[in-house]
Amino acid sequence: MRMWRTWLGVLVCVGSAQWACAPSNADDPVWEEPSQEEQSETSSAPDASVDVAPALVLNDEGQVRTTPPPSPLPAIGFQPGFHQALRWSYSVSSVTTFRMRVPVARTGDRIQVTFRSGDGALTLQRATVARAGADGSLLSTPVPLNFEGKPGFTAGARTLVTSDPVAFPVTFRDDLAITFEVRGALAASAINAFPGSFARVGTHSQALTALGGDTFERSVGVATVEVEGPTGRAFLAMGDSITEGYVDLRNDSRNAWPALVEAQLGVPVVNAGVSGQGFYDALMMLDDEVLSVKGITDCLVLLGTNDLGDAGAEEQMETRMLLLVQRLEPFCHVWVSTLLPKEKTNYGAYEYVKSQRLSFNAWLRAGGTGAEVIDLESVMRRTGNVHLYLEGLGVDGIHPSTEGHKVMAAEVVRTLRERGQM
């Protein structure tokens, strides 16, 4: 059972809704949404002040934690077609039915779904999967999911529970409707990025028509969907809100750069981006949110904009990036990206932000990590001022626009085809 807390190092710039805007630090405050009738947002906070995080992630023996290499992939096997880190927690006090519209980037005949509980116990009574239609409707008869032969489960905080494999043929980029009746705490994403998803109080997992209820566009409960089929390349994208796909208050994960890369290359590029995170958070949660995903061959890392701003931050960023690459390399082939332009900051001195970003990018380009480099800054910045986005490619001085995500995806695809044998 995983017991790490979601408050760790996540900062949201309240008021401006700019998620990739502040450094990763154990003393950062926690964002909360107002409670709703029969539903409440919960984020655990520390009972006492916490010291600034160390540069290294240690295990109980005081050594740097190592990553065991994955088992070789069989010719036919399960690999992820969908994934979300789900760093936050969302609670419902009475039984509520969620219907998540989930894009799945694999072709195969069987699937299995992994659910994640939030910051408290979760009871799942029943779950089904079907092909998703418009506005919460279904295009096929729902197929029940079982868990060790039972229709549901009860799990403690921050626990991953995977369903039994079920016969359900899917093709690349199919949209599935995963419907589940739950009570308690569900792990959730921070941003609205899954249009066509709904929540309704009561037990409605068997409903063949549109679910009704309220729109609920955050990813909730469903951590991973694996599909059994011929195995091959499978990518995982790590990052902050830029990778998760934040553009404004309502987003679509299908427009984020990882999904656009996925569509162009025809292989899974699952999204483990977490709005607000920096290197400290990513290292602390690596086992739970990344290394727990089976069947990944390549990792794409765009991380660090939230770490800019403190005096001396570039040295700490380099140290933590090296550690992150070290921990990822036994698990996947690592690709690291330069940081995008940052036209302003909500934390620290902007002069620090500018100089640190340039220094960090230069270090990456010079091969500081030993990993493959994807130079996303080079296609997003202005020639006359590298701290500014090209016209139309940014939305708020920090996040790329929908058009910016397309430009980023095109550069990732170009690099992977040129140097990644795609």
79-227 adopts what CATH topology? Jelly Rolls (2.60.120)
DSSP 234-285: -EEEEESHHHHT-SSSS--GGGSHHHHHHHHHTS-EEE---TT--HHHHHHT
* pLDDT at residue number 9: 36
* pLDDT at residue number 347: 85
Q: Using one digit for the tens of pLDDT, what is the confidence trace for 308-317?
A: 999 999 999 9
What gap in Å lies between CA 31 and CA 193, rounded to an integer?
18
| CA of residue 376 relative to chain centroid, distance | 19
- At residue 405 the predicted structure's pLDDT band, cuts being 50, 70 and 90, is very high
What gap in Å lies between CA 234 and CA 246, rounded to an integer?
23
Q: Which amino acid is at 312?
A: G
What gap in Å lies between CA 178 and CA 140, rounded to an integer?
12
Higher pLDDT, 21 or 188: 188
Rounded to the nearest integer, the mean pLDDT of the chain is 87
Q: Using one digit for the tens of pLDDT, what is the confidence trace for 112-168?
A: 999 999 999 999 999 999 999 999 999 999 999 999 999 999 999 999 999 999 999
Model confidence at 326: pLDDT above 50: yes
Residue 399 vs residues 240, 276, 346, 403: alpha-carbon distances, Å: 10, 12, 13, 11
Model confidence at 182: pLDDT above 90: yes
232-419 adopts what CATH topology? Rossmann fold (3.40.50)
Query: What's the burial of 283, exposed, middle or buried (CB within 10 Å: 0-12/13-18/19+)?
Result: buried
* Coil vs helix vs strand at 13: strand
- Could you say which DSSP state residue 395 is in? S
Model confidence at 11: pLDDT above 80: no
Identical topology for domains 79-227 and 232-419: no
Question: Contact, 330 vs 67, CB < 8 A?
Answer: yes
**Percent of residues, the chain, with pLDDT higher than 90:** 81
Higher pLDDT, 93 or 65: 93
Q: Per the structure block, which two tokens stand in for 215?
A: 């729109």
pTM of the model: 0.86
Q: Where are the domains of the chain?
A: 79-227, 232-419
How confident is the model over 250-266, as a mean pLDDT?
97
* pLDDT at residue number 39: 38
Q: Using one digit for the tens of pLDDT, what is the confidence trace for 13-72?
A: 333 344 454 444 433 323 333 333 333 343 332 232 222 333 334 443 445 567 777 778
What gap in Å lies between CA 166 and CA 66, rounded to an integer?
34
* pLDDT at residue number 349: 92
